[in-house]
């Protein structure tokens, strides 16, 4: 049995992970209030990944300071699907990005889709980015940074770079009404931002611009959700 989670259909796009693991063509920003990521997320980010209410994986994001304005971001997402307690599908995604003075300067990403391994690499030389994926090689001089969705600046963007394929795609991101969601075991007010276009998903941010939830419809009648276990919320948030 092979559950190709990566290729779950979402609207007119594809993926389980294509909606999760993207890079964005953007102007450099630091969150909603221009805070460094370690200020927004002092303990990093941890989400449970659920499919139709059942936990199937975990997504973590860690930040490492390398000076006053330089830092590194490491993301890991793992999925394991079982049948009668026997693993029938495994997925693992890892990425590492280096940032300098508010702009990304390097990205390396790798996915292991049940044994099928592929990589995407983005390197900036001067003002030119070279992005190499499993089926494409792209160059651009636009500022580039990834969205493991921790960066609130993504909501203003109209182009994204799929880190699974290395291809740039179009997207529209529209805010909804503030609503109450569950995060870190309690109710939190957050704004949903809906992605439409080549991908379709919804990402929630709280008043400070912290990423606190994500959800999308997948193929085969699957509802995928990210539940925040640790997303930087303080006791008074």
- Report the b/e string of 160-169 with b at 16+ CB within 10 A: bbbbbbbbbe
pLDDT confidence of 60, banded at 50, 70, 90?
very high
98 vs 237, higher pLDDT: 98
pLDDT at 173: 92
- Report the b/e string of 172-195 with b at 16+ CB within 10 A: ebeeeeeeebebbeeebebbbbeb
Q: Tell how far CA 35 is from the center of its chain.
A: 19
pLDDT at 215: 95
Helices (H) and strands (E) in the chain, counts: 1, 19
pLDDT at 21: 57
pLDDT at 125: 92
pLDDT at 128: 92
Phi, psi of 142 (to 5 degrees): -75, 150
Per residue in 115-167, pLDDT tens?
999 999 999 999 898 999 998 788 988 877 676 788 888 888 888 777 777 77
The angle at the Cα of 117, spanning 112 to 121, to the nearest 5 degrees, equals: 100
pLDDT at 18: 52
pLDDT at 10: 31
Per residue in 163-208, pLDDT tens?
777 777 788 999 999 999 999 999 999 999 999 988 788 999 999 9
- Joined tokens for residue 46: 């941890």
Alpha-carbon gap, residue 204 to 208, rounded angstroms: 11
pLDDT over 90 at 210, yes or no: yes
Closest CA to 215 of 200, 228, 202, 231: 202
Furthest-apart CA atoms within the chain: distance in Å: 53
Per residue in 5-35, pLDDT tens?
443 333 333 455 555 555 555 433 343 446 7
Closest CA to 224 of 15, 12, 1: 15
- Is 227:213 a contact under the CB 8 Å cutoff? yes
- Is 144:22 a contact under the CB 8 Å cutoff? no
What is the 3 state secondary structure string of 173-216?
EEECCCEEEEECCEEEEEEEEEEEECCCEEEEECCCCCEEEEEE
Alpha-carbon gap, residue 48 to 67, rounded angstroms: 31
pLDDT at 45: 97
The angle at the Cα of 224, spanning 131 to 221, to the nearest 5 degrees, equals: 115
pLDDT at 13: 38
Q: Which residues is 54 bridged to in the sheet? A: 51
Residue 38: its H or E element:
helix 37-40
């Amino acid at each position: 049995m092979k559950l190709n989670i990566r290729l779950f259909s979402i609207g007119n796009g594809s993926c389980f992970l294509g909606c999760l693991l993207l890079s964005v063509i953007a102007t450099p920003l630091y969150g909603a209030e221009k805070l460094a990521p370690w200020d927004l997320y002092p303990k990093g980010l941890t989400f449970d990944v659920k499919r139709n209410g059942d936990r199937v994986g975990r997504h973590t994001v860690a930040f490492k300071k390398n000076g006053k304005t330089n830092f590194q971001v490491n993301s890991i997402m793992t999925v394991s699907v079982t049948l009668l307690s026997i693993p029938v599908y495994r997925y693992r995604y890892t990425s590492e990005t280096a940032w300098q003075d508010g702009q990304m300067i390097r990205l390396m990403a790798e996915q292991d889709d049940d044994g099928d391994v592929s990589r995407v690499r983005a390197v900036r030389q001067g003002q030119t980015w070279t992005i190499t994926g499993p089926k494409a090689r792209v160059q651009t001089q636009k500022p580039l940074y990834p969205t493991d969705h921790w960066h609130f600046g993504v909501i203003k963007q109209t182009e994204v770079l799929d880190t699974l394929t290395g291809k740039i795609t179009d997207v529209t991101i529209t805010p909804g009404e503030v609503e109450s969601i569950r995060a870190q075991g309690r109710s939190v007010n957050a704004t949903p931002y809906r992605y439409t276009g080549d991908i379709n998903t919804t990402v929630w941010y709280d008043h400070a611009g912290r990423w606190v939830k994500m959800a999308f419809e997948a193929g085969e009648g699957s509802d995928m959700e990210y539940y925040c276990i640790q997303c930087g919320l303080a006791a008074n948030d």
